[in-house]
Structure 1
């Protein structure tokens, strides 16, 4: 009886969300869009609580990605902003990678064009009956810079701690995992330039989460089956190979004592 009421609530909520999404596409109402996003998150929380999600997450993907404007852009809920970000990244990649433009040259040319346009506008405004340009007072907020530096500091400290643990020789599995990951990154880095690799990662960031959100039920089902199979294969590898390595055997005996 409870399950039937929950399913009925799901059906009504889905219909309401679809109606809100249709209205948002026609009217481009930001307040309705935020309300619709909140309902989508609530619906996803309800569904996630009854299913095994990828990496054991309980929150919907929108909340995992921050639940703000950045999550809307990554999941293409704000299509205009997502299209603008994707187009800007593509233009920058084409300029620097395909056209052979250099960063310093690009910055100087951009500043020259901007300053020349504003200078001419300021001087010719009185002759053509136009209002002179208004120059906004741009300042970097102190808390924003401090929070960014604190985040960088925390991530660097975490990286140093991880490297120290790996190099200490206490965990062979972690050492082999890190070495394997670095080797894969080095091989992939040899295929592309740094800018192209960064652009590909950026494109994946704007496409993979969006595609996953649309097909998360199927992806989670296949991922769970794949994870079970990986654990089976690892158990076989651990029994036949890893447990026979002297270093791991001595470490396991030392931990037991």
Structure 2
């Protein structure tokens, strides 16, 4: 019998004979069905509901932080089992080592804020993420992809060409941000009463 495209090997073998092939050929109907429903959900969110990628990630982050915060503080207050959060770290490659380090540091910082009992930093973090989500409403996913690709194609060259100016500008911005935070902390944040810590 003549097979499509003149193939001689089974389709499972052509697809790599691994887990991807099992999912594509519906060898495990539960996992394949979950992937199919997940893809449909993603399509619905971004195409039908017109959810933006930045807003989606921000809302997922906010929801996760709220769950971890309530669970962690509930565990201390009501003697529940505290959440066991696995440490998720991106594998570093030579090309993206610095980026991976920053993303890993950012994720660990968010987890530490969510697990802690400092309600002020927690609320400020949620507010900052929500502001980012609101800004993300005005940036569609294709536009975001375009901006990322343009930045990847231009920023390294511009940074190499004007490295000294960029370094001094970033240093100046860091100083200004630190001064603003210090002023806010002294005049507003430090005056907000904190929750009393539970003593064992």
TM-score by length of 1: 0.35
Higher radius of gyration, 1 or 2: 1
Q: Say which structure, 1 or 2, has more relative contact order (CA 8 Å, 6+ apart).
A: 2
TM-score by length of 2: 0.44
Q: Decide which structure has greater helix share.
A: 1
